[in-house]
Structure 1
Amino acid sequence: MPRSKRTDSDPAGVLSALGNKYSAEILCAAGTPKSAQALSEDIEIPIATCYRRIEELVDAGLLTCEGRKLSEEGRRTNIYRRTVDELEVDFSGDQPEFSRKRRTEAKNQLQDQLGD
């Protein structure tokens, strides 16, 4: 059965992705472009778990694949970066509502030049 893709306009998908173990750590570590392997090593989690969380965060619109680069082993690998710097959840209504502070391309470029 095909899996349905969540979007960042789906509050349940965003909450589900954020509720999983290691998701917040991955988002914090992905302020600069990183491969799944680098994220896995940075936060010391198994690579299979890291790939699952990355997929959930991408589906929820919180993480994006910025492209591919060559790994040290010579393989092409996806590079990920978070799409938000802040996320506020309001539970006062019938459904949760989100307020996002999206990352700008200018901020991404500046952070890339400054490094971690």
Structure 2
Amino acid sequence: MDPAYLSKLITDEYVMKILTACYGKSMSTQQLSLKLDIPIAVCYRKMKELSAANLVECEDKILTKKGKWVQLFRSKVKNAYVFIENGKLRVRMELSEVTMPEYEEEIQILNDTLTH
């Protein structure tokens, strides 16, 4: 993935709020919108971008009382660093592999270094 795009994405005000809010707890897009005071359309757009970049993961789907399926997302970003090294823009991310809470397995850490 392009480091310039990734650095712009993770430093977006709404994205930073979303990634921190759903790091330790899975949340729906609607919950994130309400909790973080982000317009719902913007929140859906940001979640789509984060899913495409593999920075959030759909951890579960629940059926509401109205019969609608709602996805619950969890952030995979444990740490993120944007820096310039030897004249090149670099983004280093430490991602946690999301596991379902009932499994109580150790979380595997994946270090991704993206350079161009």
Tell whether the structures are fold-level matches, with TM greater than 0.5: yes
| Partner of residue 86, structure 2 | 93
Paired residue for 2:18?
26
* SS at structure 1 position matched to 2:74: strand
Greater per-residue helix proportion: 1
Out of 75, 99, 109, the residue aligned to residue 101 of structure 2 is: 109
1:21 partner letter: E
More strand by share: 2
From 1, 9, 12, the counterpart of 2:4: 12
Number of residue equivalences: 102
| Gaps in structure 2 of 5+ consecutive residues | 105-116
Give the TM-score of the pair, scaled to structure 2.
0.73
> 2:51 aligns to what?
58
User: Which of 72, 79, 99 is the aligned partner of 1:79?
Assistant: 72
Identity of aligned residues (%): 28
Deviations 1:42-96 (A, max 9, x none): 1011111100111122222221222321134331012111111111122123332
Structure 1: state its 5+ residue gaps.
Answer: 1-8
Match of 2:30 in 1: 37
- Structure 2 contact 61–72 (Cα < 8 Å) conserved: yes
